Chain A
Amino acid sequence: MRYRAMNKKEILRVVREYTIYIAFLLVVIFFAITLRGKGFFTAANALNIIRQTAALTIMGVGLTFVISTGGIDLSIGSTVGLSSLIAAIILREGGNILLAFLGGAGIGLMVGACNGFLYAKLKMPAFISTLAVSGIVYGIGLLPTQSSPVPIADTLFNNIFGSGNIGPVPILLIWMAAAVVLGHLMLRHMKYGRQVLAVGGNEISAKYSGINTEKIKFLVMLFCGLMAGIAGCLYAGRMHTGRCTFGEGAETQVITGVVLGGTIMSGGKGSIIGTLIGSLMIGMISNGLVIMGLNVAQQKIVQGIILLLAIAFGIEQEREA
């Protein structure tokens, strides 16, 4: 009976909800066929994709919250760079692993707090304010090293935050899973997540419902910064290096992943599981394109087109609602 009561619009919406999973499968099948025998459809490559995507997914978890309020954070890329650099410098100067991690994550928190203040308190459009912050953060990263890399010799750090495995499982997969589980619980099963979606869905109504909208908007930026800071440590661990240029342009990929996952740019609707699938899809496409032999320029063009398609799809979905 329930299904009969659903009208066409609703059925369409249910179909759309699963589109990302269907698309994901189609991409897998597409590459499995076109790249047959070239090592795409192997367990080793799958783990490879996860390693390459883990940091992007973690950034995506943070960004999903920001976008769910109707905001955006364009500073995550440069935050990743600065965070990796700070972690590497702390290790070079003899600091221990914990200190290096706290340094990297702390940078993220600081940038996030700054973004949050501009977004929530000063009510600046996040698109512009985080772009400006991104420039500042990048510049700060250039100051100590002029963009040259700082190598990390601490193998334990590199193992914990990058290249290590626990049994057959890459450590990066565990980091990623932890972030996704945390993000999913927060967004779906906690008061905070409900309030985030309410603010993004209708800020005035949220305010009239007794939600401290400024606090919520500050916290999403803070959390997003923290995730970018942690992602910076993972970059450092995987590359055995800290460098302020890490994460350059990562915003595009992260935003694409989030939007592909069904989170809507104008806010009010978000999904962490979607972000996971979306990010993996982006990672898989990049990986597949590399195996196909496309160069960086061609990859960038394809990524841009995918982002546009994802956003167009999201807008279409909003119109339906």
Chain B
Amino acid sequence: MAKPLLEMKGIKKSFNGVSVLKDVDFQVNRREVVALMGGNGAGKSTLMKILNGVYQADEGEIFLDGEKVEIRNVLDAGKHGIGMIYQEFSLISTLTVAENIFLAHEPRKRNMLLDNRACVEKAKKILDGLGIEIDPRKKVEELSVGYRQIVEIAKALSKNVKILVMDEPTSALTEHETETLFEIVRNLLKMDISVIFISHRMKEIYQICDRITVLRDGKIVISDEASKIPMDHIVSYIVGSAMDKKFEWIPRSYSMEATPALEVRNLTYRERVRDVSFSLYPSEILGIAGLMGSGRTETLLSVFGLLKPDAGVILVNGQECRIQAPEDAMKQGIALIPESRRVQGLVMDHSVKENVLITVLDKIRKYGFLKDRQGEAIVEEQIRNLDIKTDHMKKNVCLLSGGNQQKVVISKWLANKSTILMLDEPTAGVDIGAKTEIIYRMRELADQGCAVIFVSSELNELLAVSDRILVLKDGRKIQEIMRKDIEGEEVLQRAIQGYE
């Protein structure tokens, strides 16, 4: 057999002492589409970031065409013909397609001025090669998401790419656009380019990929030809046989006869949330599962008044209420612990104290003045209850660890005595210790009477605390299952994929 195009050997990587990749061997052959699969935190993105020069491996070697290469940064990766298409697009929307394709390596005339005509012509040639008709003079902002992705691919091609990494490329695409994308991928193979395809969508993977590699807990668990791995075996490879004993489900009791703390009827937001209805009872933990782009976050944002839904009714404790801004939601006792703590949850340059108190200013006010001592007492209580590790409450949150930062976001909403808590991926990017604490804390809060919505991609966590789980797909609620009726992670994984 010929030498593989890419070989990553014995790759090891750890962050802050937590080992993320443990001795990974990964290969890509010529003219091949390899699917890289795995649950959240399995190490897929870390491995790809090492390939692309964003991170450096602690140990291990990378060979291209049998030759050992050093990839120290993204520029190096580009020189070796490795291109990556990120989930968030890196195009500049106010520039044209051609300008974007040749950004930072524009064709020049002999007099060193930019050769705009050559730029457009070359762009056209690349796009033609992909079998796509886009006017290279069009501004990127005028293109749909699907076409933007194609421009991304063209941009990679303009740099003589040999291996193209696509990170969940279909998550934002329509079915038709996905078809087009696959057509392009097949064209890439003809151009002698190999593709690494990261995705959670089983069907698509079997449609386009030659080989499947599955990572779990930083190790490769299987790597074989797609035709040799039955589709239903994949799930068990991803999930693993040993259930995580740390997060054990404890059945809880609460009444589904009571008036729901929160009821959502026929919520619709553009194409992202379609006619979603559900009830949430006091003392209940309602899990929401779904792939990226399934409308989980948008549902929460609509309830919290950050998105203006096109249709739908929201009832709190049986009373219909109009929520047009987060302020209104707060008055109803609703809290949102958002997806991104850095961007949405915290003011990173402010102290723990300032961050926690921002939601309770009304409660510590007398004659217009803030009672500092009363405020500090509240913060102290939160630090104690959630066991936030900080030297003192005046420490800036940017100096805390991820897990502790997340606890600050949560405490900011506990401090104002919210009764309906919506947590969007609260355990993302925190260490296992903090994860466990956050999970147990959720259970405690529900026991105290709070109604909790828990959105997560971590199925074992969802299964550990949820009493009931909603499954969303493409903006619709496709299933609503009582936790006790779910046998295990595989069942849920299947539900998310949309199998019966």
| A residues in contact (CB < 8 Å) with B | 2, 5-6, 9-10, 185, 189-191, 194-195, 197-198, 201-202, 204-212, 268-269, 318, 321
- Bound complex: CA of A212 vs CA of B346, how far in Å? 16
0 or 1 for each of B315-347: is its CB under 8 Å from A? (1 = yes): 000000000011101100000101000011111
Pick the contact of B396 from A202, A207, A210, A321 — CB < 8 Å?
A321
Please list the 9 inter-chain residue pairs (A to B) with the smallest Cβ-Cβ separation, ordered nearest first: A201-B347, A191-B361, A210-B326, A5-B391, A210-B330, A202-B347, A208-B344, A210-B327, A209-B358
Pick the contact of B369 from A5, A9, A185, A207 — CB < 8 Å?
A185
* A205-B329 in contact given A190-B370, A210-B359 (Cβ < 8 Å): no
- Bound complex: CA of A211 vs CA of B358, how far in Å? 9
0 or 1 for each of B177-191: is its CB under 8 Å from A? (1 = yes): 000000000000000
Q: Does B349 contact A (CB under 8 A)?
A: yes
Considering only CB atoms and an 8 Å cut-off, how many residues of chain B contact the other chain?
A: 34
Contact B391 A2 (CB under 8 A): yes
Shortest beta-carbon distance from B324 to chain A in Å: 11
Report chain B residues within 8 Å CB of A318: 349
Shortest beta-carbon distance from A163 to chain B in Å: 34
Contact B350 A268 (CB under 8 A): yes
Pick the contact of B349 from A5, A209, A212, A321 — CB < 8 Å?
A321
Contact A207 B306 (CB under 8 A): yes
Question: Told that A198-B354, A209-B358 touch, could you supply 4 new A-B pairs with CB distance under 8 A?
Answer: A205-B344, A206-B358, A207-B326, A211-B326
- Bound complex: CA of A85 vs CA of B395, how far in Å? 48
Contact B347 A194 (CB under 8 A): no
- Bound complex: CA of A321 vs CA of B395, how far in Å? 11
Pick the contact of A194 from B327, B345, B354, B391 — CB < 8 Å?
B354
Contact B326 A194 (CB under 8 A): no
Shortest beta-carbon distance from A105 to chain B in Å: 22
- Bound complex: CA of A265 vs CA of B484, how far in Å? 55
- Bound complex: CA of A189 vs CA of B365, how far in Å? 9
Shortest beta-carbon distance from B115 to chain A in Å: 34
Shortest beta-carbon distance from B341 to chain A in Å: 9
Report chain B residues within 8 Å CB of A269: 349
Contact A209 B398 (CB under 8 A): no
- Bound complex: CA of A250 vs CA of B370, how far in Å? 34
- Bound complex: CA of A42 vs CA of B406, how far in Å? 56
Report chain A residues within 8 Å CB of B344: 204-205, 208
Contact A205 B359 (CB under 8 A): no
- Bound complex: CA of A207 vs CA of B327, how far in Å? 9
Query: Max chain B CB contacts within 10 Å: which of A2, A189, A205?
Result: A205
Contact A209 B359 (CB under 8 A): yes
Q: Does B17 contact A (CB under 8 A)?
A: no
Q: Does B483 contact A (CB under 8 A)?
A: no
Contact B398 A321 (CB under 8 A): yes
Contact B330 A6 (CB under 8 A): no
Query: Max chain A CB contacts within 10 Å: which of B306, B345, B361, B365?
Result: B361
Contact B365 A205 (CB under 8 A): no
Main secondary structure of the interface of B (DSSP, over half): mixed
Shortest beta-carbon distance from A217 to chain B in Å: 15
- Bound complex: CA of A317 vs CA of B318, how far in Å? 51
Report chain A residues within 8 Å CB of B395: 10
Contact B361 A194 (CB under 8 A): yes
Shortest beta-carbon distance from A201 to chain B in Å: 3
Shortest beta-carbon distance from B410 to chain A in Å: 13
Report chain A residues within 8 Å CB of B357: 194
Report chain B residues within 8 Å CB of A206: 347, 358
* A268-B347 in contact given A208-B338, A209-B358 (Cβ < 8 Å): yes
Q: Does B348 contact A (CB under 8 A)?
A: yes
| B residues in contact (CB < 8 Å) with A | 306, 325-327, 329-330, 336, 338, 343-350, 354, 357-359, 361-362, 365, 368-370, 372, 391-392, 395-396, 398-399, 412
Main secondary structure of the interface of A (DSSP, over half): helix
Shortest beta-carbon distance from A184 to chain B in Å: 12
Nearest-neighbor residue (CB-CB) of A214 within chain B: B325
Shortest beta-carbon distance from B374 to chain A in Å: 13
* A198-B325 in contact given A191-B370, A208-B336, A208-B338 (Cβ < 8 Å): no
- Bound complex: CA of A268 vs CA of B346, how far in Å? 12
Pick the contact of B365 from A191, A197, A204 — CB < 8 Å?
A191
Contact B349 A189 (CB under 8 A): no
Contact B391 A6 (CB under 8 A): yes
Contact B391 A205 (CB under 8 A): no
Q: 29 A–B contact pairs at CB < 8 A? A: A2-B391, A5-B392, A6-B391, A189-B372, A190-B368, A190-B369, A190-B370, A191-B362, A191-B365, A191-B370, A194-B358, A195-B361, A198-B347, A198-B350, A198-B354, A202-B343, A205-B343, A206-B358, A208-B326, A208-B344, A208-B345, A210-B325, A210-B327, A210-B359, A211-B326, A211-B327, A212-B325, A268-B347, A321-B349
Contact B326 A202 (CB under 8 A): no
Nearest-neighbor residue (CB-CB) of A264 within chain B: B349
Pick the contact of A210 from B329, B347, B392 — CB < 8 Å?
B329
- Bound complex: CA of A42 vs CA of B329, how far in Å? 59
Contact B347 A205 (CB under 8 A): yes
- Bound complex: CA of A206 vs CA of B365, how far in Å? 19
- Bound complex: CA of A204 vs CA of B344, how far in Å? 5
Report chain A residues within 8 Å CB of B327: 210-212
Shortest beta-carbon distance from B392 to chain A in Å: 6
Contact B326 A204 (CB under 8 A): no
Pick the contact of A209 from B372, B392, B412 — CB < 8 Å?
B412
Contact A268 B369 (CB under 8 A): no
Report chain A residues within 8 Å CB of B361: 191, 194-195
- Bound complex: CA of A116 vs CA of B347, how far in Å? 23
Pick the contact of B350 from A2, A9, A195, A197 — CB < 8 Å?
A197
Report chain A residues within 8 Å CB of B330: 210
Shortest beta-carbon distance from B213 to chain A in Å: 37
Shortest beta-carbon distance from A149 to chain B in Å: 41
- Bound complex: CA of A6 vs CA of B370, how far in Å? 27
Report chain A residues within 8 Å CB of B326: 207-211
Report chain A residues within 8 Å CB of B396: 321
* A189-B347 in contact given A194-B357, A208-B326 (Cβ < 8 Å): no
- Bound complex: CA of A190 vs CA of B396, how far in Å? 21
Report chain B residues within 8 Å CB of A321: 349, 396, 398
Report chain B residues within 8 Å CB of A185: 369
- Bound complex: CA of A210 vs CA of B346, how far in Å? 13
Report chain A residues within 8 Å CB of B336: 208
Report chain B residues within 8 Å CB of A195: 358, 361
- Bound complex: CA of A179 vs CA of B97, how far in Å? 54
